[in-house]
Structure 1
Amino acid sequence: MKTFNFYKIIALFVAATFVVSCVQDDEFDIPNTAVEAPNLEGDVITIDALYNALQQEIANNGNETLTYAESNLFIEGYVVSNDEAGNFFEEIIMQDKASNPTRGVRVLIDVSPLFTYVEFGRKAYVKLDGLTVGFSNGVLTLGIQDGTSAEKIPEALLGEYLIRDPEVATIEPKVLTFSDFNDDNVNQYIRLNNVQFEASQVLGDNPQTYAGGAEDQFDGERVLESCESGQTVVFSTSTFADYKSLLLPAGSGTLDGLLTKNFFGEEFNVTVNDPTTVALDNDERCDPEQVDCGLATATGSNVLFTDFFETQAQNSPITGNGWTNFIEEGTESWEAYSDTGTNASLGISARMGSFNSGDDSSIGWLVTPAIDFDAQEGETFSFQSSNSFSDGSEMQVLISLDWDGTAANIPSANWSELPAAFIVGDDDFFGDWFPSGNVSLDCIEGTGHIAFKYIGGGNADIDGTYEIDEIEIRSN
């Protein structure tokens, strides 16, 4: 052992002497890792020009993809995705500008991870020769041509197709509201102000994680809602993300992420590179107040208010019988509706929807006449509801004890949810009608109004329709 230690010391001394003899004046040869300005042999076009070329190919030739060959063209953009946390896999998202972008594109690359090569904010170029552009999952996508589809660029060709620029820019999120969501803003880095996760997902005894639930298969889908409009959007996280088991933040605030679409390309989704940009740290949530008397076991025989809408004029706004039909935003109102098809009405029903409305936002109220809850006991409320692919639109059932009866003052009154009332959901079959249950109002004092509030818009992801019928308020 002593002999081994002696020779070990001699060896270390020789090695140290060799290293010192190779270095003069304390100068070391440091590898040059700086990215140099590329010498592109061709022309650079915008991502928007790429998009327009694809749209022209679709319009002129009916082809859903466009393949480039010997074009000597490149697109340029800034990387706004980051796969370090595992929420992106073998793809990057690029947008055309570091601030106020107009178009973005997804590039498929058979490499993981990619953040060590092109980090967030890195300016880069993509060579188009040999690539195919099309819409995959509803978003503009580039990849290697494989028949009529785009596949991932092989790892061996990474440096040939994805070319780095020395510039690493500060990306300024594009501030959007839910009503601003459209195809032009997909694949862009955005900011949503004054948002929160749905109360049922973050409050109570079983708060949800980003994507760590037993029911989460490929993605965890949570509901993000706007405190300003009440609109909602699906917040998506990969089950391969390393933060999937973190609890969702329970507060409200600001979220920076990317606008994308779901697997089927049918609905807008929001996702993030990692949780550090989910700044929902305001403890003051924007949930409406609730009045919850529970469900009644029986209903009385005294009818305080009822409407089955049979006397209403079809396809005309609901009027009469004490109703207040008020448009807060947009052009759509609650109207009488009758249909005997797959989504049949119950005779004549009341409905509201924003399909093909052209409205950025549609908010409509249908409010009952005043009910004096001190004049009797055992009040109950019931109705039937159905929908036509409600998507991201929403219907709320609310009560106010301080609305003064003036239509213009409806939005400024204090409205509370009636959580005991069952409202049809987007997952429920559109051809069925669902009873609300006998909602007890027996714990309420004073005079109040009950309202059906529709929230949606002309955008395809929030343009659903709700129908209601057989409305009754009873007491003992």
Structure 2
Amino acid sequence: MHQKLLCLGFLVLFFLGCVVDKDFDAPEQNCLAPWKPNTTYEAVKGLYKGETVQILQDLVIEGYVTSSDQAGNFFSVLHFQDKLENPTDGMQLQLDVRATHLRYPPGSKITINLYGLYLGQSKGVYTLGGTFVAFGATSVGRLPALKVPEHLFVSCEQGAIIPNKLGLKDIDSTKTNTLVQFENMEFDATLIDSTYAQPQVAVDRMLLNCQDETLVLKTSGFSDFSSAILPAGSGTITGVLLRERNDYFLVLRDTLDVQFTQERCAAVITEFTSDALFFTELADPNNNADARFIELYYAGNENLSLNKWSIQRYTNANTEVSSVIDLSEIVLEPNTFLIIAKNASEFERVYGFSPDMEAGSNSPADSNGDDNLFLVDAFGTVIDAFGIIGEDGTGTNHEFEDGKAIRNSNITKANPIFSSEEWQVFNDSGSPGTVNSPQNAPEDFSPSQRD
């Protein structure tokens, strides 16, 4: 009987001891970081001198988390930037911790004690973490979970991290690891009905803006949304910008980062054709082979982009292209010349001004006068021709060895079939239809002028 009473007394005391006093103040969370930031990301990166190094200085940085592993698209890495808004730099920390989003959600303010951590570089990107040795080489690896509290503190201060709105041309290395946002983006039309990734296989998907500029979206095959269908529309996309050397790509935190709710961009026409661009002078000076050049004239009345245009050279009697000049970067204004030199510095020394392009040795601009040259547009169509494919120019009406070929001034458009009647050809042989009169530079040539 006494034993029963004694047990009952213990039970009463136990339950009374568990009663919560509503007026009791709960212990406050420790919101004061044990370390104070005393350096910059740039200064930390400057510690790297070409090989992995252990940081043995009392250095501390702070930042705001940009990544999240909640949807499985990030794994054992924490990406962070130096400010909640308009960051100037970002870094990453490898750590052997799962479900980091529970402790370090996006926008969390973190303080990192760098003493004892390792700093390395992989494919041009700086990385912090622990270390591992493979084949005698020391590299940055995941910081062991038990070591994380010694180096990483999360503050009670959290904020809504604001993605940095960029254009694709604004991308540079300082944006690496930061949260960015791009507007008027869409997936390549060939990817409609495709998934973000394949099971357990990372996949790159091409994003485009309405100007046809591109950016890769990289998605893990282990992400929760790897089998989700890519949206077909256009709109805004947010993610962490990463890179491998100079190749940039975007990584999503989850599919909420993709808001493609608008109609797709209108088709952008970037390839054009015109018969108003044509050869006007081909030069092989008798006294200076390095002063060779090609001159073209554009007689059109509006700007012409030469995207995907080229000049092809068929050397001697060859029936296959020997060399090519890519003209894609050129945009011509109406009534202007395009001068392409073999050697830009020698051209300027001889003729007194800089050419528009330097093509180099063995290029179409380096012809010795018995080759065949063709101007080809963005669609692979021959627009203008000098010479005949398969016919060596030696002894023909299109030989300009040690001389030049000048287009008659009354010619105002291109001709895809060579006609010797449109040209005056000077050489050192005087073959039929040509003039035996070697030409010396600069006095016998007139680049950027039509005779």
Shift of 1:305: 7.6
Q: Deviations over 1:133-189 (max 9, x none)?
A: 222233221112445311110011111111112211221111111111221211111
**Aligned residue among 35, 52, 63 for 2:46:** 52
Identify which of 267, 291, 294 aligns with 1:288. 267
Kindly indicate whether the alpha-carbon contact (under 8 Å) linking 1:308 and 1:469 is maintained by their aligned counterparts in 2: no
Matched, 1:187 2:181: no
Closer/same/farther in 2, CA of residues 144 and 28 from structure 1, 3 Å limit: same
* Matches of 1:311 and 1:217, distance apart in 2: 59
Cα distance per residue 1:333-357 (max 9 Å; x no partner):
95646699xxxx9245451356xxx
- Are 1:97 and 2:93 an aligned pair? no
State how far apart, in whole Å, the 2-side matches of 1:134 and 1:317 are. Answer: 51
Aligned residues: 318
Quick one: structure 1 residues 237 and 471, their matched pair in 2 at CA, closer, same or farther if it must change by over 3 Å?
A: farther
- Cα distance between partner residues in 2 of 1:78 and 1:316: 56
Which residue does the alignment assign to 1:231? Answer: 213
**Equivalent of 1:351, from 326, 347, 356?**
326
The 1:65/1:278 distance shift into structure 2, 3 A limit, reads: same
Tell me, yes or no, if the aligned pair for 2:207 and 2:216 is still in contact at 8 Å: yes
Q: Distance in 1 between matches of 2:382 and 2:76?
A: 53
Q: Is the 8 A contact 2:186 2:235 kept in 1?
A: yes
Instruction: Identify if the C-alpha distance between structure 1 residues 309 and 259 changes in structure 2 by more than 3 Å, giving closer, same or farther.
Output: farther
The 3 A distance-change label for structure 1 pair 222 and 315 is: farther
Whole-Å separation in 1 of the counterparts to 2:268 and 2:166: 27
| Matches of 1:223 and 1:211, distance apart in 2 | 12
Measured in 1, the distance between the counterparts of 2:145 and 2:314 equals 56
CA contact 1:195–1:224 (8 Å) conserved in 2:
yes
Q: CA distance change for structure 1 residues 163 and 178 in 2, over 3 Å: closer, same or farther? A: same
Superposed, 1:261-280 pairs within 5 Å as 261-262=243-244, 265-280=245-260
Matched, 1:23 2:15: no
Call closer, same or farther: CA 1:52–1:346 in 2, change over 3 Å.
same
Change (3 A) 1:315 1:211: farther
Q: Does 1:452 align with 2:446?
A: no
Alpha-carbon contact 1:125-1:164 (below 8 Å) kept? yes
Aligned counterpart in structure 2 of residue 117 of structure 1, from 100, 103, 117: 103
Compared CA separation, residues 86 and 17, structure 1 to 2 (3 A): same
CA contact (8 A) 1:78 1:97 kept: yes
Give the AA of the match of 1:109: L
Q: Are 2:223 and 1:196 aligned?
A: no
- RMSD of equivalent CA atoms: 4.1
Match of 1:37 in 2: 32
**Which amino acid letter does the alignment assign opposite residue 268 of structure 1?**
Y
1:97-176 to structure 2, matched below 5 A, reads 97-146=83-132, 148-176=138-166
Cα deviation digits, residues 404-426 of structure 1 (max 9, x gap): xxxxxxxxxxxxxxxxxxxxxxx
After superposition, the Cα gap between the structure-2 partners of 1:27 and 1:138, relative to the gap in structure 1 and judged at 3 Å, is: same
**Counterpart in the other structure of 2:340:** none
Cα shift at 1:191: 0.7
Match of 1:425 in 2: none
Q: Aligned with 2:101: secondary structure?
A: coil
Cα displacement string for residues 104-132 of structure 1 (whole angstroms, at most 9, x for unaligned residues) = 11110011111111111011111212222
Q: 1:286 to 1:115 in 2, by over 3 A?
A: same
Percent identity over the alignment is: 30
TM-score (structure 1 length as normaliser): 0.57
- Cα distance in 2 between the residues matched to 1:315 and 1:112: 63
Q: CA deviation at 1:95?
A: 0.5
Consecutive unaligned residues in structure 1, runs of 5 or more? 1-13, 58-62, 291-303, 355-362, 368-449, 454-467
CA distance in 2, matches of 1:24, 1:243: 44
Instruction: Name the SS of the counterpart of 2:46 in structure 1.
Output: helix
Q: Identify if the C-alpha distance between structure 1 residues 31 and 281 changes in structure 2 by more than 3 Å, giving closer, same or farther.
A: farther
> What secondary structure sits across from 1:45 in the alignment?
coil
**Contact conserved, 1:365 with 1:451, CA < 8 A, in 2?**
no
SS in 2 for 1:452: coil
Do 2:95 and 2:148's aligned partners in 1 also have CA atoms closer than 8 Å? yes
Q: Is the 8 A contact 1:81 1:92 kept in 2?
A: yes
Give the 3-state SS of the residue equivalent to 2:102 in structure 1. Answer: coil
Structure 1 contact 132–145 (Cα < 8 Å) conserved:
yes
C-alpha distance in 2 between matches for 1:135 and 1:469 = 47
Distance, in Å, in 2 between the alignment partners of 1:219 and 1:46 is 33
Structure 2: 5+ residue stretches without partners? 1-9, 284-291, 335-375, 385-414, 417-451
Task: Name which structure has the greater RCO, CA cutoff 8 Å, separation 6+.
Answer: 1
Change in Cα spacing, 1:27 to 1:161, as seen in structure 2 (3 Å) is same
State how far apart, in whole Å, the 2-side matches of 1:271 and 1:249 are.
Answer: 16
Q: Contact 2:125–2:243 (CA<8 Å) still a contact in 1? A: yes
Check conservation: 1:87, 1:238, Cα contact below 8 A.
Answer: yes
> Distance between the aligned counterparts of 2:140 and 2:13, measured in 1?
57
Higher gyration radius (CA): 2
